[in-house]
């Protein structure tokens, strides 16, 4: 799909915004230490970074919620944190972002997943992770499902953001997917390979080309293998659509009606792909909530991703910025 009409663009964005999107998955705290390097350590052949400032951003499923909010919809975030300092920092960051924290559950003695990145001269020097990837308990699963069930009548879609940190389990997935099917609710999944075959019968799954090839058992080296992997996974999972993100080669959308559509990348300059997948699945779900079809939603999410990879760290595409980018695209394509 290479273009969208001005009329159709207007229809979608007149219905855009104000929808409640439930985001369920592994929430993370992204911590950044910014500094400069002027010498090598005498203790080991590593750079000495003189830290000049620190910052914190929402990561994982929390960044997905932030993307949904930036795009004009109302995220309902569901996740798990530890009863620790970083859990408190997470709740403070959510409060600052005006994202409600009533869907965040405490799980003691789990530690809050935190990724600390040291950045020097706009380049990442090292990353340190603090996390506990044990699966959540059956009791906590029940509490989460009750929370989700109470909100089902009011939501326009669900995003499952699986980073393999213990929040998403096979039991939770089974119960959640069944609930979505009963309520005919759109559900999109940003997958983790360990749970891949548990995502059967969701609306959309968005693996990157490395994940898709690994799960299928074939590295995607060319268009023929891409098609084999795409159609093979779509048939195995019985999903409505499979969107494979391919880096500089753009995206490929496989739909159950046997339609395959390629979308060239919209990125002008790529500085950091951190969180790009969060932007893709957020924009896609917001577009579907505004009654875009899957090809239109992919076009929109492709533009959104092209905007965020130009920033360092997790970033979000704002609604107005996205509209402007799409308007420029429509005008340049007649």
Question: Is the backbone peptide bond immediately before 118 cis, with ω within 30 degrees of 0?
Answer: no
Q: What's the token pair of residue 184?
A: 């005919």
Q: What's the token pair of residue 252?
A: 């490929």
**Span between the terminal Cα atoms of the chain, in Å:** 14
- Confirm if 47 and 13 have CB atoms less than 8 A apart: no
Count of other CB atoms within 10 angstroms of residue 290: 23
Q: Which residues contact 202 (CB under 8 A, 6 or more apart)?
A: 160, 177, 180, 187, 188, 189, 237, 239, 240
CA pair distance 310, 269, nearest whole angstrom:
6
Q: Give the CA angle between residues 315, 275, 122 to the nearest 5°.
A: 65
Catalytic residue among 73, 162, 278, 311: 278
Q: What's the token pair of residue 324?
A: 């402007």
CA pair distance 165, 30, nearest whole angstrom:
14
Q: Which residues contact 330 (CB under 8 A, 6 or more apart)?
A: 3, 4, 5, 6, 9
Q: Is 278 a catalytic residue?
A: yes
> Which residues participate in catalysis according to the annotation?
278
């Amino acid at each position: 799909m290479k273009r969208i009409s001005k009329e159709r663009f207007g229809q979608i964005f007149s219905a855009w915004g104000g929808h409640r999107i439930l985001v369920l998955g592994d929430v993370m705290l992204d911590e950044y230490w910014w500094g400069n390097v002027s010498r090598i350590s005498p203790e080991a052949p590593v750079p000495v970074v003189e830290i000049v400032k620190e910052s914190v951003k929402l990561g994982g499923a929390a960044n997905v919620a932030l993307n949904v909010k930036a795009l004009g919809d109302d995220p309902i975030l569901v996740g798990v944190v530890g009863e620790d300092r970083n859990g408190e920092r997470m709740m403070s960051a959510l409060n600052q972002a005006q994202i409600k924290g009533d869907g965040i559950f405490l799980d003691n003695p789990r530690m809050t997943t935190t990724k600390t990145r040291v950045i020097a001269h706009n380049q990442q020097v090292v990353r340190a992770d603090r996390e506990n990837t044990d699966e959540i308990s059956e009791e906590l699963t029940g509490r989460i499902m009750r929370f989700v069930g109470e909100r089902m009548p009011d939501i326009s879609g669900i995003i499952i953001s699986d980073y393999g940190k213990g929040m998403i389990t096979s039991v939770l997935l089974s119960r959640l997917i069944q609930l979505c099917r009963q309520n005919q609710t759109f559900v999109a999944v940003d997958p983790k390979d360990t749970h891949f075959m548990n995502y059967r019968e969701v609306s959309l799954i968005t693996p990157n080309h490395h994940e898709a090839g690994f799960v299928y058992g074939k590295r995607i080296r060319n268009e023929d293998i891409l098609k084999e992997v795409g159609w093979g996974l779509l048939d195995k999972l019985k999903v409505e659509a499979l969107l494979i993100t391919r880096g500089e080669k753009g995206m490929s959308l496989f739909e159950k009606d046997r339609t395959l559509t390629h979308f060239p990348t919209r990125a002008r300059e790529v500085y950091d792909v951190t969180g790009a997948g969060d932007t893709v699945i957020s924009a896609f779900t917001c577009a579907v909530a505004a009654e875009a079809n899957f090809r239109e939603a992919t076009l929109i999410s492709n533009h959104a991703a092209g905007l965020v990879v130009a920033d360092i760290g997790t970033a979000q595409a704002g609604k107005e910025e996205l509209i402007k980018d799409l308007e420029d695209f429509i005008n340049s394509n007649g």
